[in-house]
Amino acid sequence: MTGLDRLDLKGFVANSVRGVFQTMLSMSLSPSEPPSRETLADGRHIVGTVGFAGTVMGNVNLFVSLEFAREMTAAMIGVAPEEVGGEEEVKDVVGEVCNMVGGDLKSRLCDAGFPCSLSIPTITCGEHFQIESKGWVRQERLGFKNSRHAALLEVYVKSSQ
């Protein structure tokens, strides 16, 4: 795996998620057992995805309920949840959070000798859908929670060589 297996992906990403939520949303998240997608997918949910490609390839998926995504949006732009505008605003915030986590991971991969580029975020939103990522060498699933909500972050990585 050309050294990819030695990287502490889980540690990188866990710190990154907590840092982004704390700094941008003034929201504390604790690590938790990764929630099942079914739990998060009870009702409308939203998935932010960024990919990276170069000597390593991979993607980062952030799964949250739509309700949590609205609270994240409210916190990031400094309004009450009921003041959050349309879904575009919510998608923008989830995409940007995902971009920050993915950007940090990409930077750490580059620093570890795996140069790669980052994609712009994509958003998937709806009910009863699944996102499958196949053919990866490493997969990490991390759970986070606060007093009201849970989030799931998945990281997939493989060497392109």
Partner 1 sequence: MALKVLTVDDSKTIRMIVKKAFQPYDCTLVEAENGVEGLAAATREKPGLIILDITMPVMNGVEMLDRLKADADLKDIPVIMLTAESGKDNVINIVKKGVRDYMVKPFKGEDLIARVKKILPLAERAAEESPEAKPGKYFTQIDDIVVLTLPAKVTRPVTVEIEGSLQAKVKEMGEASLKKLILDMGGVTETNVSLIKLIISSIQQCQKSSIAVKLVATPKQGEELKGFQETSALPVTHSIAEAKTAF
Footprint of partner 1 on 53-72 (CB under 8 A):
none
CB nearer partner 1, residue 41 or residue 105: 105
CB nearer partner 1, residue 39 or residue 81: 81
124 contacts partner 1 (rule: CB under 8 A): no
100 contacts partner 1 (rule: CB under 8 A): yes
108 contacts partner 1 (rule: CB under 8 A): yes
76 contacts partner 1 (rule: CB under 8 A): yes
Among 3, 11, 19, 126, which residue sits at the site for partner 1 (rule: CB under 8 A)? 19
R_g over Cα of the chain: 15
Among 15, 32, 103, 145, which residue sits at the site for partner 1 (rule: CB under 8 A)? 103
CB nearer partner 1, residue 30 or residue 160: 30
Contacts 24+ apart (CB under 8 A), 2-10: 2/159, 2/161, 3/112, 3/113, 4/56, 4/114, 4/137, 4/138, 4/157, 4/158, 4/159, 5/137, 5/138, 7/108, 7/109, 7/112, 9/105, 9/138, 9/140, 9/155, 9/157, 10/140, 10/142, 10/155
